[in-house]
Amino acid sequence: MNTQSGVDIRAINEEIQKESSFLDLVQLEMNKVIVGQKYMIERLLIALLADGHILLEGVPGLAKTLAINTLSKTVDAGFSRIQFTPDLLPADVIGTMIYNQKTDAFSIKKGPVFSNFILADEINRAPAKVQSALLEAMQERQVTIGDKTFELPKPFLVLATQNPVEQEGTYPLPEAQVDRFMLKVVLDYPKKEEEKLIIRQNLSAEGFAKPNAVIKPEDILKARSVVKKVYMDEKIEKYIVDLVYATRTPEDYGLEKLSSAINFGASPRASISLAIAAKAFAFIQRRGYVIPEDIRAVCKDVLRHRIGLTYEAEAENITTLNIISDIVNAVEVP
């Protein structure tokens, strides 16, 4: 099947079938440890394939940390866990210069951020100076210590968790940093049947199953290059732009009621994230082209943290999800 622009979708499909075989292995290993939470696992894979960072939000005990830890173990790559606390310093994350008396010179001690997978546990517990130190790493994939700049290993993925319940001793993440997360996933409680399995698994005499490393970092980098080849029609691009523009000027899409609810809309980074996340979702579905349903599937997680609400919206209990839902229903599907 050739498209009008000369893209051979059959060839892309064949390449995807070949390069996506590791996804089944990763999911199999993760399902050994994680019960249910299929949505979260799928979102973690989207972030992995789309080279984006992910923010998981949910009450304690929903296996956020466990899922991230398990994913990192299925990949034969470096893993660092940073527990964010109010007394954490930038040097505790990126590293620092240390004076060596023997050599009478300063040497650089690299921090835990120099790894492939970074689990930023309870990221909203650290102050702004620590968040700003993480900003450069997340966006530029590099770290500056003193007067030297170091590139971070590839792949580099920040998987952060946030507890929305306890507000004492927490700092709201700066908008600039929140925007660096490709996806924000809000987790819900497991179903009754899943919770029975969780109890059974935790009380089992054999103990926890341990995931095996089934892929190498090179497999991820290879898969990412295939994800970029997934075909996206111009009509789909227009659909993405319309969805993002509707968060900025809702009145242009017949959504005048949202004008007083939105303080600021999504940035161009949202459009980029929506496009690449949709391509990654199509890749997971083993498809070589993006359809509108792919955009709708990832839209909520890409946009929910990029729309600012006004005081009026908060007073009326209007959430970003309500706004996204109205926009998705109003914008014409190609």
What pLDDT does residue 277 have?
95
Question: Does domain 18-220 correspond to CATH entry 3.40.50.300?
Answer: yes
What pLDDT does residue 125 have?
86
What pLDDT does residue 101 have?
80
CATH topology of domain 231-330: Helicase, Ruva Protein; domain 3 (1.10.8)
pLDDT tens per residue across span 12-25: 888 888 888 888 88
What pLDDT does residue 296 have?
93
What pLDDT does residue 73 have?
85
Q: To the nearest whole number, what is the mean pLDDT of the chain?
A: 85
What pLDDT does residue 3 have?
47
Q: Copy the structure tokens of residue 251.
A: 């009145």
What pLDDT does residue 298 have?
94
- Please identify every stretch of the chain with a pLDDT value under 50, giving residue numbers as ranges: 1-4
Integer angstrom CA distances of residue 242 from 150, 184, 212, 238, 253: 38, 21, 43, 6, 9
Q: pTM score, two decimals?
A: 0.87
Which residues of the chain form CATH 3.40.50.300? Answer: 18-220
pLDDT tens per residue across span 138-159: 888 888 887 888 899 888 989 8
Q: Which amino acid is at 48?
A: L
Cβ neighbour number for residue 203 with a 10 Å cutoff:
8
What pLDDT does residue 207 have?
63
Query: Torsion over CA of 56, 62, 63 and 65, rounded to 10 degrees?
Result: 40
